[in-house]
Amino acid sequence: MAMTPIEESDVGISCFISNLPGFRGILKQRYSDFIVNEVDRDGTVVQLSSLDAPKEEPEGFQENGTNTSGTAVSYASQIESFKSLAGESDAALLEEFISKINSGGEDSVSPIVLSPDSDKLHRKAMHNFFKENLKFLVTDVVAGPDTSSKCIRVRLNSSEPNSKGKNSKKRKERGDKPFDSRGSENWPENVGKFLQFYLYKENKDTQEALGVIGNMLGIQPKSFGFAGTKDKRAVTTQRVTVYKQRPSRLASLNQRLFGIKMGDFCYVKEALCLGQLLGNRFTITLRGIVAESEDTIKASADALGKHGFINYFGLQRFGSGSVPTHLIGAALLRGEWKLAVDLILDPRDGERPAIAKARKYYKESSDVVGTLKQLPRYMVAERAVLQSLKMSPGNYLQALKSIPRTLRMLYVHSYQSYLWNHAASKRVQKYGTELVLGDLVYCKENSTGKVTKLVGSEYTEDCGDNYDSNNEDEVLGDVHEEINSDVKAVDAEDLNSGCYTIDDVILPMPGSRVNYPTNHIANVYEDLAKKDGISLTKSMHNVEEFSITCITGCYRRVFQKPINFEWELLTYTDNNTQLVETDLDKINKSKPVNSVKPMGIGTANGKKDEAFDCIRELESSNDDAKVENYNEIAGEEIKLPHDETLGGSDSQDSHIALKLSFTLPASCYATMAIRELLKTSTSVAYHKKLNQ
């Protein structure tokens, strides 16, 4: 039976900070209503400004044969020489083979087999020809049609320099490096080995977009590095690195890509890893606003800017509308490997028809090979599990371990987030927004009492294991950065001194090295985990990475204020009108900008002001990795009730929209800020109802 989309209450999201009334607004009616720009560690907002490759390449590049530029390399003279050595038919076959490689399809090009040859000396001359003239190709010998002859096989040389082949020790030691090491062997020493570019995407998941680019380049997904995945139903811009590629080659793909663009190329020395960002900048437009008055909107917006919101993990964290990742995490913590695999592969509501068909086919037939043929490449977790089951039927633990590590750890992290959300709700229900005895805080220099060494924070979001924590981050891209601080429980002296405020309160993500509050909130973790058949103090199996006792844990602030928060009311007459310019719009000035009349502009302080320039503002988004595709919210026109309220008149000429611009640190969810503002659910099911 297909799983239904989860609701906010299912994952512990149940409280608000303020008691102000909400109002009606449509989130993501158009995907361009949700714009996300990554912010790097220097505080620079990542904005696409150019689609062109640099006009000049760094000095020192040498062609080694593989086409790493956007222009095909000519081998006419080599093929002509080869024709005199091997004959016209083999020369034509080789010419076609090289043409396919130069078109960017290295991974999809199969080796070629030349004509049978019984002359050993002639075969030796052929081998030497390739070594001297076509070094990017390698040759070996296979059996011919009869016992007296052999054939030379030609294939692309994709191995490392001095490698002895795919079984070499060097290749085995490469392990799970965050990039595919194929590239030019003659890469100049003065040029960084990684090409960084800005990835701009519309209504696509990060992994899906990179999968498309990887297929066109003929490289594996692990060739790419990025700091965090961005929302699917949105317009997003983020940094990506790729190993040993040329800008011209990537820029040449832009004309063939739909909803994806690459630009702002430069070479860097290191690949991007998950978590290497400060946050994201959001520009969110809520359409179809229906409120009692403009004052209602103003009061709610000002309250959000002043008091913030409960820093819940949003529904995206749990595979909203698709796989309930926290349930998979619970199964892993219990050691129920087959159940975890079933939850990953089983049918669920709201997915694309082709994917739903593939899931149903596997559920009914258990045909691994047939299902793999139907699943697209960006279904990384599902394909990894099925590939492993194809090789080792029934070995469910091995199948789970075949999922890329940062991706499979998302399941456990989701369960930690599930416990955290419930604890945060209980904290607000029981104590409100007052600091109380036993609350956990980061220790300040002038505070007193017992302190414990900080394990992690909402900036570290380590939550990883204790044996490989260099860059193992959630697929969602929570930032890893050690903070030199301590954690303590608030005591009476702290309350009297006023050293701490409600903004300082933190709660732990369960792990072996975290402390829990010394008040009633600690019981929430234990009671909920016990209900799920999980112990937070001892392992239930011997697989370390899926054991709560081997996961470090971390801390997260309970309340979060949006940074550089501003709002603006707009009027529009056409639901298809785009109200905010995207990065690509700014590049393509040939398209006229939609005419939008500002109604009013406000700030967190309630002051009227000019619409602010977001170019250099720090912002943030949900940088959580998603195992499944985020279910799309339907984008058709929203029909609102014709109430005699702001935005609810019978007029077909005027609608109200609320434009919000703000910054959040990495791993904070903009949807939770919107939830506090509107006092409505952010679930897919709720917004689908608004579309009916």
* Residue where the block lists tokens 């990835």: 199
Across the range 214-237, mean pLDDT stands at 89
The per-residue pLDDT for range 516-533, each reduced to its tens digit, is 999 999 999 999 999 999
Q: How confident is the model at residue 298 (pLDDT cuts 50, 70, 90)?
A: very high
> Most confidently modeled of 41-45, 186-190, 456-460?
41-45
Assigned domain for 616 exists: no
Assigned domain for 165 exists: no
SS3 labels along 354-403: HHHHHHHHHHHHCCHHHHHHHCCCCCHHHHHHHHHHHHCCCCHHHHHHCC
pLDDT of residue 160: 37
SS3 labels along 559-590: EECCEEEEEEEEEECCCCCCCCCCHHHHHCCC
pLDDT of residue 605: 45
Tokens of 611: 């619409």
Q: Which amino acid is at 463?
A: C
Indicate the range of 127-141, 333-347, 385-399, 632-646 predicted with least confidence: 632-646
Task: Supply the range of the domain harboring residue 514.
Answer: 410-423+432-549
231 is annotated as an active-site residue:
yes
Assigned domain for 193 exists: no
**Catalytic pick among 33, 90, 231, 264:** 231
**What φ, ψ does residue 210 adopt, rounded to 5°?**
-70, -30
The H or E element spanning position 681 is none
Q: How many domains does the chain have?
A: 1
pLDDT of residue 424: 97
Of 443 and 221, which is predicted with more confidence? 443
pLDDT of residue 642: 32
What span, in angstroms and rounded, lies between the C-alpha atoms of 412 and 509? 11
Assigned domain for 468 exists: yes
pLDDT of residue 4: 64
- Torsion angle defined by CA atoms of residues 339, 345, 349 and 353, in that order, rounded to the nearest 10 degrees: -170
**What φ, ψ does residue 151 adopt, rounded to 5°?**
-120, 145
Q: Which amino acid is at 438?
A: G
What span, in angstroms and rounded, lies between the C-alpha atoms of 72 and 74? 6
What span, in angstroms and rounded, lies between the C-alpha atoms of 332 and 533? 11
CA 308-314-315 angle, 5° bins: 150
| DSSP structural state of residue 52 | S
pLDDT of residue 167: 39
Of 121 and 621, which is predicted with more confidence? 121
Assigned domain for 265 exists: no
Q: Do residues 206 and 230 make contact, with C-beta atoms less than 8 angstroms apart?
A: yes
Assigned domain for 494 exists: yes
What span, in angstroms and rounded, lies between the C-alpha atoms of 183 and 70? 14
Tally Cβ neighbours within 10 Å of residue 88. Answer: 9
What span, in angstroms and rounded, lies between the C-alpha atoms of 38 and 44? 8
What span, in angstroms and rounded, lies between the C-alpha atoms of 479 and 665? 9
Q: Do residues 641 and 288 make contact, with C-beta atoms less than 8 angstroms apart?
A: no
Q: Which residues neighbour 134 within 8 Å (Cβ) at sequence distance 6 or greater?
A: 65, 75, 78, 98
pLDDT at position 184 over 60: no
Mean pLDDT of the residues in the chain: 79
Of 511 and 320, which is predicted with more confidence? 511
76 forms bridges with which residues in the sheet?
Answer: none
Q: Which residues neighbour 523 within 8 Å (Cβ) at sequence distance 6 or greater?
A: none
Q: How confident is the model at residue 185 (pLDDT cuts 50, 70, 90)?
A: low
Assigned domain for 365 exists: no
Q: Which residues neighbour 373 within 8 Å (Cβ) at sequence distance 6 or greater?
A: none
pLDDT of residue 323: 67
Q: Which residues neighbour 233 within 8 Å (Cβ) at sequence distance 6 or greater?
A: 28, 31, 34, 203, 630, 632, 633
pLDDT at position 344 over 70: yes
What is the layout of strands, in order, in the sheet containing 112-113?
112-113, 150-156, 137-143
Assigned domain for 596 exists: no
What span, in angstroms and rounded, lies between the C-alpha atoms of 403 and 321? 21
The per-residue pLDDT for range 157-182, each reduced to its tens digit, is 754 343 333 333 443 444 444 444 44
pLDDT of residue 559: 97
Q: How confident is the model at residue 351 (pLDDT cuts 50, 70, 90)?
A: confident
